[in-house]
């Protein structure tokens, strides 16, 4: 699973055109203020252990939400974060489970629909923690690695230390 | 080089905080209407042949600009598209050369500064070609591969055929 987490003043989207794997939706558009937006690519490797990926993904999102003090989460499927995608079926299962996992952690959660071409607007806040990425990999039933990536265009050790101080 | 190309109604940004590798800038903010925004990660592998990567990157961006009929290009450094980044020095060289290459192809070009934490707002148009990704890899002085990726959340052959018809 690839995650790109953007702390935003707002995000809004409108589903414009379905693909053959589109989820059924009742409401084509939505908006969230002061949200941590999690752009998500569910990857082929995640199929080996979707449950673990959901659990670790939820922990990663909650970790950043805690750092930036966000109570609202928008889960937004984003295939362009990976060159090795899971099946659409697994993607929807993981995204749905992630939505439930975040709700059970107490967040207000919305999820943009999978399988649609969407227009969207996002306003990124621009502080040092407002854009972060995470890679979550199941390497077997017992072993999970989380590769954290904090990098604006290049992150120095000084900046990493600064992030630690803030967290 | 990883490219994420978003056809936008507008993009605007404001450089908020420099990192130790920040470019010197005269103007901290800018905006472009009806722009093809190229989010770009210059990668470690690109250091083997930056010139080729610039040339092929410019061709890839121009190709999409032609498809979506965009005359304005915003080049926007985006480290989160790769887990293997080039040195900041090579990144700035490649981005600067890419700016010149796109200008010489006749586009109106702006480039967001490297090495700054930036606030930004982007409005993605949402049509089927408004989000595309490209991977450009130098595999040696003589051999270059371009891995094209058109994938909303999952792209069927039908959709690929549709794209070809439009292009
Ligand atoms: Mg606000």
Alpha-carbon distance of A111 to A94, in angstroms, equals 12
Alpha carbons B136 and B148: distance in angstroms, whole number: 9
B34-80 pLDDT, tens digit per residue, is 999 999 999 999 999 999 999 999 999 999 999 999 999 999 999 99
pLDDT at A88 over 70: yes
The answer to whether the CB of B87 falls within 8 A of the CB of B52 is: no
Which two three-digit tokens encode residue A59?
Answer: 């922990």
Place of tokens 């800018």: B30
- Residues in A touching B128 (Cβ below 8 Å): 17, 117
- The answer to whether B121 touches B8, Cβ cutoff 8 Å, is no
What's the confidence (pLDDT) of residue B150? 45
DSSP string, B43-98: BGGGGG-HHHHHHHHHHHHHHHHHHHT--EEEEEE-GGG-SSBPPHHHHHHHHHHH
Q: What torsion, rounded to 10 degrees, do the Cα atoms A114, A18, A123, B118 define?
A: 80
Percentage with pLDDT > 70 across chain B: 83
How far is B45 from A74, CA to CA, in rounded Å? 34
What ipTM was reported for this prediction?
0.86
Question: B81 in helix, strand or coil?
Answer: helix
CB contact under 8 A, B80 and A116: no
Tens digits of residue pLDDT in A107-155: 999 999 999 999 999 999 999 999 999 999 997 533 344 444 445 544 4
pLDDT-derived band at B151 (thresholds 50, 70, 90) equals: low
SS3 A22: coil
**pLDDT at position B155, please?**
42
Residues on A contacting B at a C-beta cutoff of 8 Å:
4, 14, 16-17, 19-21, 77, 79-81, 83, 85, 88, 91, 114-128, 130-133, 135, 147, 149, 151-156, 158-159
Question: If you measure from the C-alpha of residue A8 to the centroid of ligand 1, how many angstroms do you get, rounded to a whole number?
Answer: 8
- Residues A15-56 have pLDDT tens digits of 999 999 999 999 999 999 999 999 999 999 999 999 999 999
pTM over 0.80: yes
Token duo for residue A114: 């999978």
CB atoms within 10 A of CB A100: 13
Separation of alpha carbons A157 and B15, rounded Å: 21
Mean pLDDT of B16-35: 96
Residue found by looking up tokens 């600067």 in the block: B96
């Amino acid at each position: 699973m690839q995650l790109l987490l953007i702390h935003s003043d707002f995000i809004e989207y409108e589903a414009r055109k379905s693909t053959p794997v589109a989820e059924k939706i009742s409401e084509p558009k939505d908006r969230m203020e002061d949200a941590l937006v999690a752009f998500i690519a569910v990857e082929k490797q995640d199929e080996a252990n979707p449950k673990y990926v959901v659990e670790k993904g939820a922990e990663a999102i909650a970790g950043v939400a805690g750092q930036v003090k966000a109570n609202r989460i928008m889960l937004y499927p984003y295939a362009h974060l990976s060159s090795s995608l899971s099946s659409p079926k697994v993607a929807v299962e993981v995204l749905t489970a992630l939505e439930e996992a975040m709700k059970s952690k107490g967040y207000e959660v919305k999820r943009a629909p999978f399988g649609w071409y969407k227009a969207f607007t996002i306003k990124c806040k621009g502080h040092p923690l407002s854009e972060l990425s995470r890679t979550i990999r199941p390497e077997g039933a017992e072993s999970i690695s989380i590769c954290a990536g904090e990098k604006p265009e290049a992150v120095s050790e000084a900046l990493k230390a600064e992030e630690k101080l803030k967290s």
